[in-house]
Amino acid sequence: MLKGKTILIGITAGIAAYKICELIRMYKREGANVRVMVTPNALHLVTVLTLESLSQNEVFVDNFEIKEYKPEHISLCDEADIMVIAPATANTISKIANGICDNLLTTTVCAFNKPVIIAPAMNTNMWKNQFVQENVAKLEKSGYHIINPESGFLACGTTGEGRLCALEKIYDKTIDILNKNKILDGKKIVISAGGTIEKIDPVRYISNFSSGKMGTALADAAYAMGADVTLVSTFDINKPYNVVKVESAVDMEKAITPFNNNVDCIIMAAAVADYRVKNYAEQKMKKTSDDEIEIQLVKNPDILKGLASSANTTKIVGFCAESENLLENAKVKIKNKGCDFLIANDISRKDIGFSSDENEVYILDNKLNIEHLDKSSKSEIAYKILEKIFE
């Protein structure tokens, strides 16, 4: 999602500086060129060697460490598509808001005329300080993207607002700003993700190994491409679009069915259990002296087939996870389900199976035309799937 983009990260001397190492990795996984600059005091918290190893680029600290004729703050401004300052201390925030340029980071942001994301992190009382809040408001009014800190246990030993926000929030905001090719603008899309849970008793259940990564990648990509997205998920996740949490296959059917013919597309990426327990035990089942027990199962509703059979204006897209005879089984499934597209993937391969960050799929349409997408990140696969569906 970030291929061809250059992200300039500014790290200041907050204890959360170490977390930015993972943010760099997140950007790199999506193909971004990451450049890093740090304030001198931030080097007490994270090393140049670590940052250079992760970004695979030189790390900049001081204005006078110039290896080229072009001044660094101008060179970096020209190269980068966006600047992310995280963690942003009260000191740096106040300097930026008042045009103070006394180090490379503040000098660069003063000259930067592209989008800037600022993620503050500091002690609760510092965050609530009148002057800090005035400076934050001034930056926000000037067009800077502020991602407020969260509440929680802080490094100073207190609990309150001031902890650096979840890295996913910074990542999602970056994706949202940089993906200006909103080819799905005006489209409404519902996507399911994760493996359903079918309870046996209050402590046991039947499920599967689905991580929900492919469904989430599709939702992220659709949102970045401008769509109005609803993710129906079997797990908790914090996203800038609408998320509906469900548990069982019956729950998922109830959540998704009302959207049919009210949205442009429904993508059933979730791994829905084929069967559920016939007689749920209200109390925990006790171990007995018997070596065997029997649990009766009944069929769950076929959500994909039900959606396809009643769809008039909504495109219905299904997923096919197979461990053998991938294409043969996929052709049978798309005919049986009646959906518009079917995405087939081979779950027997460890490199693209459950929980992997990569995938390799075949896209089948209802006329049995087949398109192969080579192994790539699930994010890139998601973009290509959406482009195919809405081409």
Residues assigned a catalytic role = 156
Dist. CA 311–CA 10, nearest whole Å: 49
365, 354 Cβ separation under 8 angstroms: no
CA atoms within 13 A on the CB side of 244: 16
H-type alpha helices, 194-277: 213-224, 249-256
Which residues have C-beta within 8 Å of that of residue 334, sequence separation ≥ 6? Answer: 318, 320, 341, 342, 364, 366, 368
Which residues have C-beta within 8 Å of that of residue 287, sequence separation ≥ 6? Answer: none
Q: Which residue has the tokens 């049995």?
A: 368
Distances (CA, A) of 51 to 19, 23, 112, 387: 11, 11, 22, 35
Question: Where in 223-368 does DSSP place strands (E)?
Answer: 228-233, 242-245, 265-268, 275-277, 297-299, 315-322, 341-346, 358-365
Which residues have C-beta within 8 Å of that of residue 304, sequence separation ≥ 6? Answer: 268, 272, 316, 318, 337, 339
DSSP single-letter state for residue 200: E
59, 51 Cβ separation under 8 angstroms: yes
* Dihedrals phi, psi of 382, to nearest 5 degrees: -60, -45
Amino acid at 281: A
CA atoms within 13 A on the CB side of 288: 7
Dist. CA 81–CA 78, nearest whole Å: 8
CB atoms within 10 A of CB 196: 27
Residue 211 corresponds to which tokens in the numbers above? Answer: 């991580």
